[in-house]
Structure 1
Amino acid sequence: MFVVILRFAANKNQAPQHMAGHQEWIHQGVQDGVFLLVGSLQPGQGGAVLAHDTTLDDLRERVAADPFVAHEVVSAEIIEIAPNSTDARLAFLAA
């Protein structure tokens, strides 16, 4: 399981130009079953993605393809988590 932190970067002001592509990138990640949760970092600091059922290398490629990352609207940090215990509702994450 991975957490991707997308913090606004040098070209934050270009976000409106790349928003449609970024939203399509999010939609594709959800459709592919890789993104379990996508949301905003508050207050207005960027975004975060909870990713699952992928490899670190594949996720790095996917993140690099985000127009926000490619155009330095955000900087990306990928954190890998190896779940030890989970609530029963999230047991699939430990599999």
Structure 2
Amino acid sequence: MFIISLRYIASLDEVDRVRPAHFEWLDRQYEAGVFLLSGRRTPPVGGIILARAESREALEAIVAQDPYVKNSVAEVEIIEFEPNKFSEDARALAGR
């Protein structure tokens, strides 16, 4: 499982200009079963995505196609982790 942390490196006006394409990219990843949840950080300095992927390399290839990344309005950190404790509500997210 992975946490994708996006941090804006451009003005919010520039981020907003790319947002529709970013949302389309997000929708494709949800449809493919890669992304589990996502949202904008508070305050709006970036976003967080919870994802499942076959490998880190596979996820890196997906993230490289994010319009935010391609248009240099955000930088990304990918954190890989193995969930071993979770609530009953999160059990399905963890694939358990």
TM norm structure 2:
0.87
Quote the offset at 1:11 in angstroms. Answer: 5.9
Counterpart-to-counterpart distance in 1, 2:15 and 2:87: 36
Counterpart-to-counterpart distance in 2, 1:44 and 1:10: 12
Check if 1:57 corresponds to 2:60.
no
Give the AA of the match of 1:46. G
Structure having the larger proportion of residues in helix: 1
Counterpart-to-counterpart distance in 1, 2:67 and 2:56: 19
Contact 1:34/1:54 (CA < 8 Å) preserved in 2?
A: no
Check if 1:18 corresponds to 2:18.
yes
Change (3 A) 1:81 1:42: same
- Alpha-carbon deviations, 1:35-91, whole Å to 9, x = none? 110101101111110001432111101111001011111100000111122222323
Counterpart-to-counterpart distance in 2, 1:90 and 1:14: 35
The percentage of counterpart residues that share the same residue type is 34
Counterpart-to-counterpart distance in 2, 1:11 and 1:72: 11
Q: Secondary structure at the match of 1:22?
A: helix
Partner residue, 1:89: 89
